[in-house]
Structure 1
Amino acid sequence: MLHKLVIDTVSAQATKLLMSEKGLPNVEVEKHLKALLQSALSKLDVVSRDEFDTQQTVLMRTRERLEALEKRVSELEAKAP
């Protein structure tokens, strides 16, 4: 969804810059710009905001569990002879 919004926004702005003399956007230019932007964005290694937030939550939980386990190991080591 984000990709489509970015593609449409950039394409619309570029089309405005490349308007024909009559003030009407050149449909072919817009079509080619969209295709070019889609191709470029598909090559990028990006994730959606939802995916990022989900992974961040998982990482935080994992970090909390690791810290708890480290604390427990330290306590057990302190009790060992």
Structure 2
Amino acid sequence: MRSIEDIAARLAQALPPQVAPLRDELHANFRTILQGQLARLDLVPREEFEAAREMLAHTRRKLDALEAQVAALEAERDSGG
């Protein structure tokens, strides 16, 4: 993923030559706007996402095991065992 700085620099470089004198100021403005908009997205750090994903996978494995156990107990009950 590109950093905010890289994106802001690309935007500034994409400006027409007529605004070259303003390029540094616009670059700073682009960076500020991008940072503000990304902050509003309520994103989580990758580490936090990975931890939540692993916890969910663990919970899914436990649920699958419990469902199999319940199915086995119901089958035993239904067979008169």
TM value normalised by structure 2: 0.73
The structure with more radius of gyration? 2
Contact 2:13–2:23 under 8 Å retained in 1: no
SS of 2:74's partner is: helix
Look up the match of 2:12. Answer: 15
How many residues align? The count is 77
1:27-38 superposed matches below 5 A: 27-38=24-35
Residue ranges of structure 1 left out of the alignment (5+ in a row):
none
Identity %: 31
Q: Equivalent of 1:47, from 44, 49, 58?
A: 44
What value does the CA root-mean-square deviation take over the aligned residues?
Answer: 2.4
Partner of 1:69: 66
TM-score (norm 1): 0.73
Structure 2, unpaired ranges of 5+: none
Partners in 2 of 1:68 and 1:32 — Cα distance?
54
Equivalent-residue separation in structure 2 for 1:58 and 1:12 (angstroms): 38
CA distance in 1, matches of 2:42, 2:75: 46
The amino acid of 1:66's aligned partner reads L
